[in-house]
Amino acid sequence: MRSSELFKEALELFPLGVNSPVRYYSPEPVMFAQGHGSKILDVNGKEYIDYSLGFGPMILGHANPDVSNHIKSQVDKGILFGSISENEIKLGKTIKNAVGSIERLRFTNSGTEATMHAIRLARGFTGKKYIVKMEGGYHGAHDYALIKSGSGTMTFGVPSSAGVPEEVSRTVLVGRYNDAESIEKLFKEHRNEIAAVITEPVLGNIGVINPENDFLNSLREITEKYSSLLIFDEVITGFRFGFKGYQDIAGIKPDLTTMGKIIGGGAPVGMFGGREDIMAHVAPQGDVYEAGTFSGNPLTMAAGIATLDQLKSKDYSAITNYAARLEEKLNSLISEYNIDATINRCHSMFQIFFNKNKVTDYKGATASDTEKFNKMFHTLLEKGIFFPPSQFETEFVSFAHSETDLESTVDAFSSVLKCL
């Protein structure tokens, strides 16, 4: 088959044939050729209902005509000038007006860059050394993000990747999501040394884990108490649940915010922004350096403008209701076939954990049966349903998903769960 032939070529070029590890799964990943609306087609011509959506950005579906036309128009005008362009101003104003905590911002090329620069800025602004992150929280692939707790306890982080110096990992402290006491303990132990707490307001790279027990408010109170900054990583959640950030839904104002994915309409993008006095420390205005040849490039900005222009008038309850109905139907099947599984959902993102217990943190997520998830993934793939290929990713609903998609998805799941 053409897919296998192409993958053999990829194996000769890239480590295990892919340019991002989450794209690989055994025996070989499906190779996609095009997408339209809620569907994607592989190079062999097979069609799939897509719940990965490029790992989140394609909230309008694939090949949205308005977004495509904006990109094509910008290509004819030029794709890179090495200077500020009007598109940056348009998209920047839209984001600033929509998210109350963002007074100044800076575009980057990826969420990884955005969190890396936000962490550096927090250290530069406060003059403090340590960063607190959540166990299982993902903030990109730079050294300060690739840290986890070695034993599931509160301790200095240990690298979760070779090549991260131990000296770097010692500046990152790891607390537990939904456990405010674990965060308070870290602050008591390192009282005047913590620059910031960084967290996804809704964990989205370990499945979907919602904040509970007023956890996010507790983070705000703790960071203010100890003169530390609060960074919300909204790379996934920004503009996902409404024309705003999750912080606006939760009613919490972080000091810094990172975004990506949706604000670029599928093109490479990242952004960090927040309080004006903090952002004033970013070069060339201040002494915290950040730069990027392709940051704020006109092509990405055009895709972002077209995407957010449409989202302004969208009724987000449509995709939330779709996900809620899918959750309800899948829960019925889980009960019918007596499967040990639970579904976590936040508005239009969801994940199935093969775990009889409720999943509220890293420990619960990693206790799930990943072998069953893999069987489900591959069987759904055969039936034309594409999920992200990991228990620890997230499924998304787009505005392009239809009633027919919902029925087809439920039918496929009925067969899959019956087999499991």
- Mean pLDDT value across residues 152-169: 65
| pLDDT mean over 125-154 | 79
- The amino acid at residue 144 is Y
The predicted-structure confidence for 168-202, as pLDDT tens digits, reads as follows 888 999 999 999 999 999 999 998 999 999 999 99
Same domain for 382 and 250: no
Task: Tokens 């996609």: give the residue.
Answer: 32
For residues 58 and 97, state if they share a domain.
no
203 & 280 share domain: yes
Domain match, 124 and 239 both: yes
Among 100, 140, 132, 81, which residue's Cα sits nearest to residue 260?
A: 140
Q: What residues contact 404, with CB distance under 8 A and at least 6 apart?
A: none
Residue 222 scores a pLDDT above 70: yes
This prediction's pTM: 0.95
Residues 282 and 321 in one domain: no
Task: List the single range of 40-44, 137-141, 164-168 with lowest mean pLDDT.
Answer: 164-168
- How confident is the model at residue 269, as a pLDDT? 98
Band (384; pLDDT cuts 50, 70, 90): very high
Among 255, 288, 311, give the residue marking a domain's end.
Answer: 311
CATH of the domain at 79: 3.40.640.10
Q: Are residues 303 and 325 in the same domain?
A: no
Tokens of residue 288, six digits? 């915290």
CATH number at residue 342: 3.90.1150.10
Q: Which of 268, 284, 311 is where one domain is finished?
A: 311
Same domain, 412 and 292: no
Residues 260, 330, single domain; the answer is no
pLDDT of residue 154: 33
What confidence tier does 36 reach under pLDDT thresholds 50, 70, 90? Answer: very high
**CA-to-CA distance for 55 and 321, rounded, in angstroms?**
20
Q: Are residues 357 and 407 in the same domain?
A: yes
What's the whole-number mean pLDDT along residues 86-93?
98
Q: Is 411 a catalytic residue?
A: no
Which pLDDT does position 150 carry in this prediction? 31
Q: Could you report the per-residue pLDDT of 295-333, keeping only the tens digit for each?
A: 999 999 999 999 999 999 999 999 999 999 999 999 999
Same domain, 378 and 398: yes
Model pLDDT for residues 250-298, shown as the tens digit of each residue: 999 999 999 999 999 999 999 999 999 999 999 999 999 999 999 999 9
The answer to whether residue 253 is catalytic is no
Do 200 and 116 share a domain, yes or no? yes
Q: Which of 42, 50, 179, 233 is catalytic?
A: 233
Helix (H) or strand (E) holding 231: strand 229-234
- Please spell the DSSP secondary structure of 347-413, one letter per residue: TTEEEEE--SSPP-SHHHHHTS-HHHHHHHHHHHHHTTEE--SSTTS-EE--TT--HHHHHHHHHHH
pLDDT tens track for 343-371: 999 999 999 999 999 999 999 999 999 99
pLDDT higher than threshold 80 for residue 147: no
Question: Is the confidence at residue 98, as pLDDT, over 80?
Answer: yes
Residues 278 and 135 in one domain: yes
* Residue 246 a catalytic site member: no
Report the number of distinct structural domains present in the chain. 2
Active-site residue (options: 138, 144, 177, 362): 138
The identity of residue 79, as a single letter, is I
Which of 311, 342, 375 delimits the end of a domain?
311
- Copy the structure tokens of residue 414: 């009925």
Residue 118 corresponds to which tokens in the numbers above? Answer: 């936000």
- pLDDT tens-digit map of 385-398: 999 999 999 999 99
Tell me: pLDDT of 152 over 50. Answer: no
Out of 261, 316, 361, 362, which one is annotated catalytic?
261
pLDDT digits (tens, 9 = 90+) for 232-248: 999 999 999 999 999 99
Query: Which residue range forms the structural domain that includes residue 184?
Result: 65-311
Measure the CA–CA gap between 352 and 345, rounded to whole angstroms. 9
Confidence of residue 148 (pLDDT cuts 50, 70, 90): low
| Token pair belonging to 253 | 């104002």
Tens of pLDDT, residues 71-84:
999 999 999 999 99
Model pLDDT for residues 44-74, shown as the tens digit of each residue: 999 999 999 999 999 999 999 999 999 999 9
